Amino acid sequence: MGSRREEGLLHQLGQQGRDTDLPDDADAARPQAALLEKHLLGGEKQPPSTGQGPVFYIGGTNGASVISSYCKSKGWQRTQDSQREDCKLKWCEVKCRDTYCRFREGEQLLFQLPNNQLLTTKIGLLRALREHARVVSRTSKPPPSTQAKILKMEEFFPETYRLDIRDEREAFFTLFDETQMWICKPTASNQGKGIFLVRNQEDVTALQAKTQSIEDAPTYRKMPPRAPQARVVQRYIKNPLLLDGKKFDVRSYLLIACATPYMVFFGHGYARLTLSLYDPCSSDLSGHLTNQFMQKKSPLYMLFKEDTVWSMEHLNRYINDKFCETKGLPRDWVFTTFTKRMQQIMAHCFLAVKSKLECKLGYFDLIGCDFLIDENFKVLRRCPRVVVG
């Protein structure tokens, strides 16, 4: 993998603006669907009506219709047989060892890098970022002209402690006081499952008892990574920027289109809003967590679900109207300053794990990256997600 090539691609990720505003001199200077066609599907121009093209397999149901309809539009054939040997593309929701063992490098396309948990789990990313920070701190300082490009972890990642490491756990229990609020999350979960707030000493005492009981259990050492002990506790951002009084975050995408050599792209997503007005004192998690799974629990969801997702254009107009003048922001802050910051953070996270990823020609991945903006317009990285649809 040529380092110059990779640096150039990461630079491209850091310089892209809107999804369609890709560099003029790149093969990828086309909309996102064309990017996938060029880099993942090999650019085949099969007649969409023949169904005589390559065979593809989709494991799982999350987003299956989107992937299937796109592939079929290119003339590809879908199979339900996961053991079929002639699949050109396998898009699997759940990773399986057999899938990777049977993979033919250079001949097939396979969704999900085998150890993408370095990017897609809370502990995986936290560990990688910490190690990357240690390595950077030990290397010689870069020239003054490039120093500003190196991010520090504390600039974009809220203070975080691992509960599966005793020293970190005890450090958190020692520093906690009731003027703060923290949020506790499982390392490898989604849809808000297993998340709770830590606000007072009673919550801390319960958390201490829970972690101690797990550690004392005879089966502790045999527990898998998804065990209850594999959690992080993270400082809660109590002053988020609000949209009409509602908390929100922004989902964007990191596409690892090719892993040998690396070909990495940024894609805009959308803003996710809560249904209820933000109240930091509320115990209702749906007012603190923005994902759709949590919002669907509200009886008002079917009436107001369109209000829980904004396009980036909608968000940009809102920021222009409400904050550009009062906060002294540049026009189109969302598509300029904010987009560049997201790209910088995503590139930093990717560089932190790049050397450790298990790569073969044909592996690709799509990572959902969530960002929170506080009331001072500081951009913070939230927990990553692997996109399975």
142 inside domain: no
119 inside domain: no
Same domain, 213 and 300: no
SS3 category, 261: coil
Domain that holds residue 378: 242-386
143 inside domain: no
Single-letter residue type at 7:
E
Cα gap 279→271, rounded to integer Å: 19
Single-letter residue type at 275:
L
- Determine which helix (DSSP H) or strand (DSSP E) holds 10, and give its type and residue range: helix 3-15
329 inside domain: yes
Same domain, 81 and 185: no
131 inside domain: no
Same domain, 225 and 344: no
48 CB neighbour count, 10 Å cutoff: 12
Q: Is 321 exposed, middle or buried (0-12, 13-18, 19+ CB in 10 A)?
A: exposed
Same domain, 373 and 249: yes
| Residue that terminates a domain, selected from 196, 220, 235 | 235
Predicted confidence pLDDT, tens digits, the chain (389 residues): 333 333 344 444 544 433 333 223 333 333 344 444 444 444 444 444 455 789 999 998 877 888 999 999 999 999 999 889 899 999 988 888 889 999 999 999 999 999 999 999 889 999 999 999 999 888 756 555 544 567 889 999 999 999 989 999 999 999 999 899 999 988 766 666 788 999 999 999 999 988 877 665 555 555 554 444 588 999 999 999 999 999 999 999 999 999 888 999 999 999 999 998 999 988 888 888 888 877 877 777 778 888 899 999 999 999 999 999 999 999 999 999 999 999 999 999 999 999 999 999 999 999 999 999 999 999 998 755 544 43
201 CB neighbour count, 10 Å cutoff: 11
Cα gap 210→184, rounded to integer Å: 13
Same domain, 309 and 218: no
324 inside domain: yes
Same domain, 218 and 253: no
User: Which residues of 32-93 form beta strands (DSSP E)?
Assistant: 55-59, 77-79, 87-92
- Tokens 């913070």 label which residue? 380
CATH number (domain holding residue 300): 3.30.470.20
- Determine which helix (DSSP H) or strand (DSSP E) holds 334, and give its type and residue range: none
16 inside domain: no
User: Which residues of the chain form beta strands (DSSP E)?
Assistant: 55-59, 77-79, 87-92, 109-111, 160-162, 182-186, 196-198, 231-235, 242-243, 246-259, 262-273, 309-311, 363-373, 379-381, 385-386
Same domain, 303 and 252: yes
Dihedral of CA 129/132/138/140: which sign? negative
Cα gap 169→233, rounded to integer Å: 9
Structure token digits, residue 145: 């002209």
Structure token digits, residue 234: 């993270």
290 inside domain: yes
| Residue that terminates a domain, selected from 214, 235, 256 | 235
| Residue that terminates a domain, selected from 235, 254, 288 | 235
Same domain, 359 and 331: yes
Q: What is the pLDDT of residue 333?
A: 98
Same domain, 348 and 288: yes
Same domain, 251 and 358: yes
Cα gap 347→374, rounded to integer Å: 21
Q: How many domains does the chain have?
A: 3
CATH number (domain holding residue 177): 3.30.1490.20
Same domain, 193 and 61: no
Cα gap 17→161, rounded to integer Å: 34
